[in-house]
Every structure is written in C-alpha cells, then in structure tokens.
Amino acid sequence: MAGMTTVTPDLDRLAIDTIRTLSIDGVQQANSGHPGAPMGAAPMAYAVWTRFLRHAPTDPAWPDRDRFVLSAGHASMLLYSLLHLTGYAVSMDDLKSFRQWGSITPGHPEHGLTPGVEATTGPLGQGLTNAVGMAIAERRLSAEFNGDGADGSIVDHWTYVIASDGDLQEGVASEAASLAGHLRLGKLVVLYDDNLIQLDGPTKMAWSEDVPARFAAYGWHTQRVGDGNDVAAITTAIEAARADDRPSLIAVRTHIGFGSPNKQDSQKAHGAPLGPDEVRLTKEAYGWDPDRTFYVPADAAAHFRAAIPAGETLVAEWKARLAAYAEAEPARAAEFQRRLAGDLAQGWGSDLKTYETGSEVATRNASQDAIQALGPRVPELFGGAADLSESNLTDVKGEPDFSAETAGRNLRFGVREHAMGGIANGLAYHGGFRPYVATFLTFSDYMRGSVRLASVAGLPVTYVWTHDSVGLGEDGPTHQPVEHYAALRAIPNLWFVRPGDANETAAAWALALERRDGPVALALTRQKLPTLPGTSTGARNGVARGGYILREASGGTPELITIGTGSELQLAFAAAEALEADGIPTRVVSLPCWEVFDAQDQAYRDSVLPPSVRKRLSVEIGVSLGWERWVGDEGAIVSLDHFGASAPAGTIFEHFGFTTDRVADVARRVVRDGLRGRIGTVDGGHFGSHPTLEAGDPGVERSGASDPGHS
C-alpha cells in the first residue's frame, strides 16, 4: 500500500537508492558479501514491499501476513535493508554488524534469528521451493478454516519470492515449480532477477533456455518486464500476476551492480564488496553524497515507515474478523488458534496402537497404523510421498488428495524428492501444520539439501523413510541403504530413529510429534519384524529417551551388553538369550535414536550403558562408522561396510552373517576371546567381503533357520 506521503517517481527512486546504498554500505563495512543483486533487484523488492506486501513490522508473526521469501539468499542485505526501513526490530547497528559474530544479520538469512525472515535461504533453489510449501499451506489452511463463519477470510495471504538465475538453474526449484504449476498455486508470485550474470560470469556460459517459456510449460502465468528500474511496469505486472489463477513468474530484466560505473553487468559485483573507491563512484552516480554511509534520507524513512501503522491496521482488522469468527464458531476458532500455536490437541496420541509380543509387523506397516491413529486427532499432520505412497504407506486413508481442485490432505509429490523436502520445510515455516514426507531411505540422498536446512532452521518435519536396509531384498544395492544411517546421524539437530519393532515405531511417531525444534527421521522396514518382549510396556518411554534397557541380564549385572537398532534389535535380543542359556548374564539395549540418547543426562546414559561393562556388541546392518562410541574399545561391531546385493532378504541376511547363530557366536567370542572391533560380513556377495575381521573368523556356523523375522 502507498504510504501517507504522495509517492512520486522521485520518492520511489530515493527509496530504492536507500535500499541500494544500505546494501552497498553493509557489504563494504563487513568487507564481505554480495552487493550486486540488491542493487539490481531493489526496485522490484521496493514495489512488492511498499505496494503489495501486507505485513506488520511490529507484529512479524501475524499469522495472516503475506510471506516474502528471498530465495537468492546471498542478496541478504536487500532483505535486511527492507526489514530495517519498514520498521522491524532490525536496527541500523544490526545493519552495521552485517556478517559479524553474534549479529542478527548473518551472511545468509536465517529464520528464527532475524524478525521478518520467513525462511533460511542461501542454498539456491530452496527458498522458491519453501515458498511453494507456504502457498500449499495457505490454500489448505484457508480451506480448513475459512468458510461459513463470519466473513470467511481469516486465512487469505500471498507468497512473494525474489529468485535469481542460480535459483532457477537448480533442479530443486524446477521440481517445485513443476508441482506448483500442476497444483495451480495462484497466490504465489515469483519475481525473477533476470540479470544475465552469475558467479562465474554471464549466464550464457551454461544456460540458454527461455525461462518464462519453461515456466509456461509448467503451467505458470509468465510475464517479462524489460526495465528492472521501471517500478510502474513492475507494479502493473504484479497486478496482472495476482489477477491470474496460476502461479506467476515475472522475469524482470535487471542489471547486477546497477549504478556502479565499473562493476555493473559484471560478476565482479556479485560476491565481493565494491571497494571504497567504487562505492564513492556509485553513490555519485545515484546523485548521493559519497561521504555519507548508512544514510537514510528523512523522506525515504517516512515513506518506508508507513508500513508500521498500515500493518497495525491490518492486524487490528484481522483480529476483528477473528473475533467475529470466534463468536460465530467458537470451537472452530479455538482449533484455529491451537493449530497456529503449534500445540497438540488433548489426547492426540491415544489411538496409537500397542502390539502384542510375537506379532509380526513390518515397521512401515506400524507407521501406517500410527498415521491412521493420529490422522483424526492431529489434523495438522499433513504430508505424502514422492510417488511411493504404496510402499511408504503414508496416506491418511479416506482423505482426499491435495490437488488443483481440492485442498485435501494427502500430498502427491511425484518423483521429486528434493522439492518434497523443501516444500515440507515451507509448510513448517508457514505454521499450522506438522508436515511429513516419504520415500525410500536410500533416496534420502536426493533430498538431503532440504533435510539439512530443516535441521539448520529447526523445523519439525517428519521423514518417513522406508525400505531401510538390505532387508528390502531383491531391488539390490542401488536401493539398499548402507551408509545412510551414519550419513544422517552426521547431520546436527536431525534425530534419526530406527525403531526395532512395531511398538517402537508407534513410540517413534510420538517422539516425532512431541519434538517442535527440529526434524525427526523414521527409518522403517519393508520386511516383517517380530514384536519383542518388553516393547509393549517399555518402548514409549524408552524411545523417548533414545535408548533403553530392553532386557535385563539375569542377576542384574551384565557381563555383556548387546545393542541393536531396527531389524537387528531382534538379533541382539536372540543373541542375549543364547548367551544367557550359556550362563553369561547379558543385557539388551535398544538404541533407536543416538541423538536423543546422547542428550540424556550422564546418570541415565550410564544406567543403560554402565562404564564398568566394557564387553559390548552392536548389531546394525549399516556401516560401522560411529558405533565405536557406543561399544568402546572392548566391544565388537557387527556391521555392513560394503554395498548389498540383489536377492531375497533372508538370503542376504544369511550371507552377510546377520543371523541369530552367528551374532550369538560373535557375542560369545567377545566375552570369551576378547574379540573386538569391526566384524566383517561372512560373504560379501558380488562386491566381495570386506577384510576387516580383527581376530579371525568369528564363526560361520549358520543355518537356514537362523533368520527369524526376515521373510
């Protein structure tokens, strides 16, 4: 909306140059950063922020605000300048401490650190993808809560994006844009900073397609604005974008480093300060005093600050609509508030199932049970799979799909794992939802960029990653995760959970929903697993602590501790029973989530893994990396340090030595012979076995009957 003052082209220009010079000065002061994109994209950002964006600088979390995502996160000074100028709690001192230790103006925007930053961006393509998630969230939330009550518009906002060449070169953004077009996300408007320059030089080095034509093929409404300084033309284009019911791309021809006599239209303006001399020349070119830094002319300040009262009015009007809604439909309004607050409803987990000892259930099926149990009680649970819902078992049965026509509950991502992850992040950023997304665990690699960002930003996204080991069988090594557990455990703030049976799976879902400050990954089996003694009572609290004593040693003082996760928990259990039969007191520890266990106090960790019990054996059908930490230097690690093989699961487990008899044999030798370290597989299949055995062959006595549960 226009400010109180009359907006003339001169005022536009003054305000735009204020954004430019603040960005130039911030980068120069930091002696680090990206001035060129803010200088080129300032007019389009100005048009969005002063003429369209409905936001409230003094209430940055106002739920019905329009979202603005700077996908080109390297242009962060553009965003910080706008936040400062329009009255968010981003001070001039914050701009002066751009990129410095402890500042709220880090190199790339970080959600949660800076008021008004809607998404953590910087890895190109992610912001646009997040924005697709936000637009999906807006549509579904409005379908759920607008309607008959009051005037039916408590959820009604737009998502605006500024994206750069790099954003649109990225595969993740292409996946997301394709889905956005298919879903006809009409309240998404992307302004493309079409400056023909990227980090290494002109985009034509590596890029020649017609970008708007590509987006048109995705089903987008597309336009071009020939002059990126023409605010009127940009404004008209945004109006046309809003009038169309498709998502919109506006390719705005800009000039990187606009106004810099020696660096405009060159990659030299991309990622380095202009330098003191060039800063002076540029300010002179703008008609500014070259001796002033971080200068905000009074007219520009007044114009931008009109956003404060305008935002307060918008919030007040919205609150009035909400009050009327609450009057008309109190229960629905209360539910709306609960959803926005992110609190779980009373009794949310009360339909989670308990499974009887001995019942055989694949953990992916137990996860399906959990989703069904949570579905009605946790309507904010919203997600889907990347064309594998039949395998991942993620549909909320009986609910419609989310499509262009219907804002249903089951999302269909197509085979677009990376965008799926970024869209889930967008749903989480938006609020009102608890997103979950699914594929085969191996293909977590295809979405890892998004998973890492969920972890950085602390987003409560749940990953349902099934087919979690060579136990998936015949599809073979391309599909069989081996290094993934270690690779995912290596991501800070991601909780990687590999439940050992159906009860632990229900508990893992509960853990995921109870977590609000970061993502939780569930690694689930394709194959059936036996429900183990003790999990029906112990799993809920045990999984909530990351690890627990599943079976105590006779007499209470173990000589050996076996530790298992996932489908190998049963092997740890059976081996312990075999050793007990030999008179060796053996404890079984289930360790489904290292990160949560690690976060327990020392006393608890020591009670589960007493430092005095140094004979330990871990069993997990993935790489050994990291297990040293839990088994110590007198422990042994039954692991899989090579790729898998194509064969029925039972055959694979047998050849690799993941059988009850063999694990029991290794366990005995840990106690009796001091066997320790990595234990190689028995037979490496078509990749050859790994020569890691440290104390001779620990036993190859195996039989076809020694593979419970791997049918």
Ligand X SMILES: Cc1ncc(C[n+]2csc(CCOP(=O)(O)OP(=O)(O)O)c2C)c(N)n1
By CB atoms closer than 10 A (0-12, 13-18, 19+), residue 236 is: middle
Q: Min. distance of Cβ 651 from ligand X in angstroms?
A: 41
Q: Give CA–CA dist 107/75, Å, rounded.
A: 9
123 touches ligand X (CB under 6 A): yes
Which of the listed partners (ligand X, Mg ion, none) does 255 bind, with a CB threshold of 5 to 8 Å by partner kind?
Answer: none
> Which of the following is catalytic: 138, 144, 417, 620?
417
Q: Min. distance of Cβ 328 from Mg ion in angstroms?
A: 49
> What pairs with residue 366 in β-bridges?
none
Question: Near ligand X by CB under 6 A, which window of 159-167, 298-306, 488-496, 551-559?
Answer: 159-167
Q: Min. distance of Cβ 263 from ligand X in angstroms?
A: 12
Question: Near ligand X by CB under 6 A, which window of 162-170, 304-312, 560-568, 685-693?
Answer: 162-170
How many helices (H) and strands (E) the chain has is answered by 26, 21
Residues with Cβ within 8 Å of 343's Cβ and at least 6 positions away in sequence, in order, are none
Q: Min. distance of Cβ 422 from ligand X in angstroms?
A: 12
Tokens encoding 219: 């089903």
Kindly tell me which of 226 and 688 has the beta carbon lying closer to Mg ion: 226
195 touches ligand X (CB under 6 A): yes
Q: Give CA–CA dist 459/133, Å, rounded.
A: 13
- Stretch 159-188 residues interacting with Mg ion (CB under 5 A): 164-165
Which of the listed partners (ligand X, Mg ion, none) does 74 bind, with a CB threshold of 5 to 8 Å by partner kind?
Answer: ligand X
Residue showing the smallest CB distance to Mg ion in the complex: 165
Q: Min. distance of Cβ 205 from Mg ion in angstroms?
A: 12
- CA distances 707 to 217, 551, 572, 711, Å, are 52, 20, 12, 8
From 165, 265, 417, 641, residue interacting with ligand X (rule: CB under 6 A): 165
- CA distances 414 to 174, 175, 176, Å, are 13, 9, 10
Question: Near ligand X by CB under 6 A, which window of 196-204, 222-230, 283-291, 586-594?
Answer: 196-204
Q: Min. distance of Cβ 292 from Mg ion in angstroms?
A: 29
From 121, 129, 195, 462, residue interacting with Mg ion (rule: CB under 5 A): 195
Residues 235 and 9: beta-carbon distance below 8 Å: no
Which of the listed partners (Mg ion, ligand X, none) does 36 bind, with a CB threshold of 5 to 8 Å by partner kind?
Answer: ligand X
Kindly tell me which of 138 and 165 has the beta carbon lying closer to ligand X: 165
Question: Near Mg ion by CB under 5 A, which window of 195-203, 343-351, 575-583, 628-636?
Answer: 195-203
Name residue 111's amino acid: H
Residues 297 and 44: beta-carbon distance below 8 Å: no
Question: Near Mg ion by CB under 5 A, which window of 107-115, 150-158, 192-200, 377-385?
Answer: 192-200
Q: Min. distance of Cβ 442 from ligand X in angstroms?
A: 22
Task: Answer yes or no: 360 catalytic.
Answer: no
By CB atoms closer than 10 A (0-12, 13-18, 19+), residue 448 is: middle
Helix (H), strand (E), coil (C) string for 105-143? CCCCCCCCCCCCCCCCCCCCCHHHHHHHHHHHHHHHHHH
Is residue 300 helix, strand or coil? helix
Which of the listed partners (ligand X, Mg ion, none) does 617 bind, with a CB threshold of 5 to 8 Å by partner kind?
Answer: none
From 22, 132, 256, 613, residue interacting with ligand X (rule: CB under 6 A): 256
CA atoms within 13 Å, Cβ hemisphere of 94: 22
Instruction: Single out the residue of 665, 706, 485 nearest to residue 560, CA to CA.
Output: 665
Name residue 683's amino acid: D
List contacts with Mg ion (CB under 5 A).
Answer: 164-165, 195, 197-198
List contacts with ligand X (CB under 6 A).
Answer: 36-37, 72, 74, 122-124, 164-166, 195, 197-199, 256, 270
